[in-house]
């Protein structure tokens, strides 16, 4: 049996993990595909593709924070997100099976495909607004508002409420950030409460007068006598907003930044717009918006040849898996014509991202339309892009762009 690499104390807060985690992952992988830290929270880390895939597929792995030791990472994250007893992301079977089963009825591929028109319309309107500007900021103009608008539209939020909706969504995202200040956490918790009250009102209104939207579909979702309770509907709407927004914003930001930093790859897309599907998959592989997910062990397991006891939190490094040289030749190279740019960016197993189809659709429309309209886009040399420093996520808080030749 192998021994996990024990992460030295001084490396725990290596700032490169926020700015460029890949060299840190490569250094650790070279020592052992599994690492361990005992402080500030105890956790194991798995970096290799096959190990991460097996870990996520293993049905004995738990997402329930109560299954971890008291200082487990998932307990920390779950307590920040709230709703742990009603959110599918923090439930195990049979509760997870029931809730996900009911929710996915309202989240069918057909429902997602029907969003293509509205997503294109929103994207066009957002791009129209900057079409005359020689320089604009990507996150403000497109990557930030688009996913919020899409989820608001799916849920059926009234257009008048969109500004409030965006504010709540931005504040709640900070709850996921381990580096958030006390003030930001307070604002996030307040937004969570306000959003909850708003949703309760909205659900009640739809019980009286059903509409053609996701919230009504969640109310209607039923398996025999089994239905979602109001609390479950509210928790699900909150989860969809929390899980779907910043992730998709980061997908769009990462795609633009990676393409602009690799002009030959961007040229391939400009020459051949039908490459867009592969481009989005390669961006998801090369720069995943969510760097890791986790599972708690409920029995003794072996990961990467290392024994791990019961009740431990194992962090599945999605970023590590996607750049595993044993899985992808030349894994650190961004190549939009890669034959099979498969990745684990949407997790796996029972908790595989419910919004993966929607995120891919948004990514393809946003990136295809942006470069279709502005093929001469470039990073503003005077204003370097600003990274969003959220632990566990990777993307941009701001990215200044210019049009026209340098």
Q: Give the residues lining the site for ligand HEM (CB under 6 A).
A: 56, 88-89, 100, 151, 239-240, 243-244, 247-248, 251, 289-290, 293, 345-349, 351-355, 358-359
**Minimum CB distance to ligand HEM smaller for 33 or for 244:** 244
Backbone angles phi, psi at 231, to 5 degrees: -60, -40
Give the other-Cβ count within 10 Å of 128's Cβ: 10
Beta strand segments in 87-236, E: 135-137, 222-223, 226-227
Smallest gap from residue 381 Cβ to ligand HEM (A): 28
**Minimum CB distance to ligand HEM smaller for 37 or for 249:** 249
The answer to whether 401 and 377 have CB atoms below 8 angstroms apart is: yes
Smallest gap from residue 231 Cβ to ligand HEM (A): 16
Smallest gap from residue 388 Cβ to ligand HEM (A): 14
Contacts of 234 (CB under 8 A, 6+ apart): 83, 86, 196, 199, 200, 203
**Minimum CB distance to ligand HEM smaller for 37 or for 345:** 345
**Minimum CB distance to ligand HEM smaller for 73 or for 359:** 359
The answer to whether 308 and 40 have CB atoms below 8 angstroms apart is: no
**Minimum CB distance to ligand HEM smaller for 55 or for 171:** 55
Smallest gap from residue 85 Cβ to ligand HEM (A): 14
**Minimum CB distance to ligand HEM smaller for 91 or for 266:** 91
Residue of minimal CB distance from ligand HEM?
355
Smallest gap from residue 173 Cβ to ligand HEM (A): 13
**Minimum CB distance to ligand HEM smaller for 32 or for 358:** 358
347: left (phi over 0), alpha (psi -120 to 50) or beta: left
Smallest gap from residue 270 Cβ to ligand HEM (A): 23
CA distances from 347 to 76, 145, 192 (A): 19, 25, 25
The answer to whether 157 and 165 have CB atoms below 8 angstroms apart is: yes
Smallest gap from residue 239 Cβ to ligand HEM (A): 5
Tokens of 315: 């962090």
Measured at the CA of 10, the angle between CA 305 and CA 344, to 5 degrees, comes to 45
**Minimum CB distance to ligand HEM smaller for 37 or for 247:** 247
What count of Cα atoms within 13 Å lies in the side-chain half-sphere of residue 168? 24
Tokens of 199: 């949703």
Residue indicated by tokens 């591929």 = 109
């Amino acid at each position: 049996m192998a021994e996990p690499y024990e992460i030295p104390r001084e490396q725990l807060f290596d700032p490169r993990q926020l700015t460029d985690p890949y060299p840190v992952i490569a250094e650790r992988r070279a020592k052992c595909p599994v690492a361990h830290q005992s402080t500030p929270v105890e956790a194991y880390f798995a970096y290799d593709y096959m190990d991460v895939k097996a870990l996520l597929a293993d049905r004995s792995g738990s997402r329930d924070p109560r299954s971890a030791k008291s200082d487990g990472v998932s307990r920390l994250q779950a307590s920040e997100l709230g709703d742990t007893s009603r959110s599918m992301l923090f439930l195990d079977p049979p509760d997870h099976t029931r809730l996900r089963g009911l929710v996915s009825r309202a989240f069918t591929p057909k429902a997602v495909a029907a969003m293509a028109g509205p997503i294109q319309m929103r994207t066009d309107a957002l791009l129209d607004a900057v079409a005359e500007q020689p320089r604009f900021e990507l996150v403000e103009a497109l990557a930030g508002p688009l996913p919020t608008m899409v989820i608001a539209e799916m849920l059926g939020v009234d257009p008048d409420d969109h500004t409030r909706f965006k504010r709540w969504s931005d504040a709640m995202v900070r709850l996921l950030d381990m580096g958030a200040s006390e003030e930001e956490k307070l604002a996030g918790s307040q937004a969570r409460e306000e959003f909850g009250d708003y949703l309760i009102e909205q659900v009640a209104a739809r019980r009286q007068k059903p509409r053609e939207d996701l919230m009504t579909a969640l109310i209607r979702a039923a398996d025999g006598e089994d239905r979602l309770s109001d609390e479950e509907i509210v928790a699900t709407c909150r989860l969809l907003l929390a899980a779907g927004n910043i992730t998709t914003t980061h997908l769009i930001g990462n795609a633009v930044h990676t393409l602009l930093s690799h002009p030959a790859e961007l040229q391939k897309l400009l020459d051949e717009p039908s490459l867009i599907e592969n481009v989005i998959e390669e961006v998801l592989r090369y720069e995943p918006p969510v760097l890791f997910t986790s599972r708690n062990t409920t029995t003794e397991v072996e990961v990467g040849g290392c024994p791990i006891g019961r009740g431990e939190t194992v962090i599945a490094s999605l970023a590590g898996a996607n750049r595993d040289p044993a899985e992808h030749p030349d894994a650190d190279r961004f190549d939009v014509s890669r034959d099979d740019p498969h990745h684990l960016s949407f997790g796996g197993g029972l908790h595989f991202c419910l919004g993966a189809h929607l995120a891919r659709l948004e990514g393809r429309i946003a990136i295809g339309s942006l470069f279709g309209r502005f093929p001469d886009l470039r990073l503003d040399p005077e204003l370097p892009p600003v990274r969003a420093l959220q632990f566990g996520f990777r993307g941009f808080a701001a990215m200044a762009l210019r049009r026209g030749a340098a």
